Amino acid sequence: TIRMLKLHAMQRALVIATACYWMCTFANNQHNLEELAVNDLLLTPFVKALMMTTCTGTIALMTESTAMPFKRIWCVLEDYISLVKVKDKESAHYFDVATMIPEKSQAR
């Protein structure tokens, strides 16, 4: 994950020392998931964080071994929000995809 974020920062011409990345794991209290017991997923802290005007984009990380997206339900929700619901935001929202291809693993 760190290697992918460094690659992303380089591709977006961000200063690595000052670039900020927020991990979705921190949106939900991992020791008290009661706040997720809502009927509308758009009311969860996770989605609220993505919809904030200060959230300028999403990076969908792919697995290193297969370059496929993660299939965890929260990852699928993040992709949906980032591609569909962000159109309701007042600010721009980028959607980037990042993966690493291990050295010498590509077929020639």
Question: What whole-number distance in Å separates Cα of residue 92 and Cα of residue 85?
Answer: 12
Q: What is the mean pLDDT of residues 74-100?
A: 84
Question: What whole-number distance in Å separates Cα of residue 3 and Cα of residue 73?
Answer: 24
Largest Cα span, the chain = 50
pLDDT tens across 13-67, in order? Answer: 888 888 888 776 676 777 777 877 889 988 888 888 888 888 888 887 777 666 6
DSSP code string of 27-89: GS-TT-GGGG--S-GGGSHHHHHHHSTT--EEEEEB-TTT--B---HHHHHHHHHHHTGGGGS
